[in-house]
Amino acid sequence: MDGTILIIDYSEYEREKAKIAFDNIGEFEFIEVNNLQKFYNLSIKSKEISLLVLDLALPTQKEGFEVLSTLRKKPETSSVPAIILTKWDDSNYKRTALKFNVQDYIIKPYTTKRLESSIRSILKIDQSFSYNISSANVITMSIEDYITKEFKIASRANQNLSIILLTPIVTTLKSYNLDFLNNVYKTVIEKVKLSSRSTDTVILNDNKDILVILPFTNDSGASRVVEKIKNNVATGLNDYGVNFNDLFYAVHTTFPIDGKNFQALMEKATKRVEDKIMLEKITSIGANALDNARKKYNRFKI
């Protein structure tokens, strides 16, 4: 065992993400704290903790620094190295953190590699093998590889993961000129990003599809996010005189109930879009035409 890590963060997703970085380094035990009450009830033995990883929002920065101050006053944790993980990129907070002998201050969202490098440096853990990549081309993680990593986090925590797919209605888009559509699309993307949480990821592709990855979000939660996105985007599209439902289909799928991997979720999402298209075609036929079709069908019904 390479040590025991104390992780203090209200978000289970963020705690699991941090543990992924440690998994890439060695074998660690974790003590997890998700609220102030649990922290103050925590009993820490002397020299038990190797490293502290702390989010300042517990739920505010004031409580986060109070927790840090308490840890520094305890003999068992007074000299334990600490890493701050927070969304607050504030110079005052950084200066305050330094007063508590914090070794690193990392802004969320961060890459796993960023945290991993900090852990290795602080705990003085060398990589067993090093390969010079200074002359290599930049490699970007594929969407599927990224989702696979998120699936690993969700699976280990026994949590859901949802994907929202916003895909353009091609037949409607053909009636608008390209410049108009580009402006509309920029507005849609902006509103989608503003509707997302810090833990969510918005992905765009060449087909003008928009994917929103929702970690630790179940089916009902994803439904609420879809409605939030649609409402915010609709507000942004008012200036263009167009409606969201005239330009985009919005569907969502959830791991593991709709599929166990990225391809399965996207296949289910595509099927739901196809169902929407088929439903629109049926309803556009008209009530009289449908009644006549039913009567003709019933003539041959046994």
Note whether residue 299 is domain-resident: no
State the sign of the Cα–Cα–Cα–Cα dihedral 143, 149, 153, 155.
positive
When the pLDDT of each residue in the chain is averaged and rounded to a whole number, the result is: 83
What integer pLDDT is reported at residue 141 of this predicted model?
58
* CATH number of domain containing 155: 3.30.70.270
What integer pLDDT is reported at residue 126 of this predicted model?
56
Q: Is the pLDDT of residue 185 over 70?
A: yes
Percent of the chain whose pLDDT exceeds 70 = 83
Q: Give the residue-averaged pLDDT of 86-101.
A: 89
Is-above-0.75 flag for pTM? Answer: no
**Domain interval for residue 104:** 4-123
- Cα separation, 147 vs 45, whole angstroms: 38
- Cα separation, 254 vs 180, whole angstroms: 33
Q: Are residues 15 and 110 in the same domain?
A: yes
Say how many residues make up the chain: 302
Q: Give the residue-averaged pLDDT of 86-92.
A: 88
- 101-146 tens-digit pLDDT: 999 999 988 888 889 999 999 988 754 444 444 444 455 556 667 7
- Cα separation, 149 vs 119, whole angstroms: 20
What integer pLDDT is reported at residue 297 of this predicted model?
44
Q: Are residues 176 and 99 in the same domain?
A: no
* CATH number of domain containing 98: 3.40.50.2300
Least confident of 41-50, 148-157, 246-255, 284-293: 284-293
* DSSP-assigned beta bridge partners for residue 104: 83
Q: Which of 56, 91, 123 is the last residue of a domain?
A: 123
Q: Is the pLDDT of residue 31 over 90?
A: yes
Note whether residue 115 is domain-resident: yes
Least confident of 28-32, 37-41, 56-60, 234-238: 56-60
- Cα separation, 161 vs 148, whole angstroms: 11
- 255-301 tens-digit pLDDT: 999 998 888 898 999 899 888 877 766 655 444 544 544 444 444 34
Q: Are residues 148 and 284 in the same domain?
A: yes
- 152-172 tens-digit pLDDT: 889 888 999 999 999 888 776
Q: Is the pLDDT of residue 45 over 70?
A: yes
Note whether residue 46 is domain-resident: yes
Least confident of 39-48, 57-66, 184-193, 289-298: 289-298
Note whether residue 36 is domain-resident: yes
Q: Which of 76, 92, 123 is the last residue of a domain?
A: 123
- Cα separation, 276 vs 158, whole angstroms: 31
The count of structural domains within the chain is 2
Q: Is the pLDDT of residue 25 over 60?
A: yes
Q: Is the pLDDT of residue 14 over 80?
A: yes
User: Helix-strand-coil percent breakdown of the chain, rounded to 5?
Assistant: 50, 15, 35
Q: Are residues 277 and 230 in the same domain?
A: yes
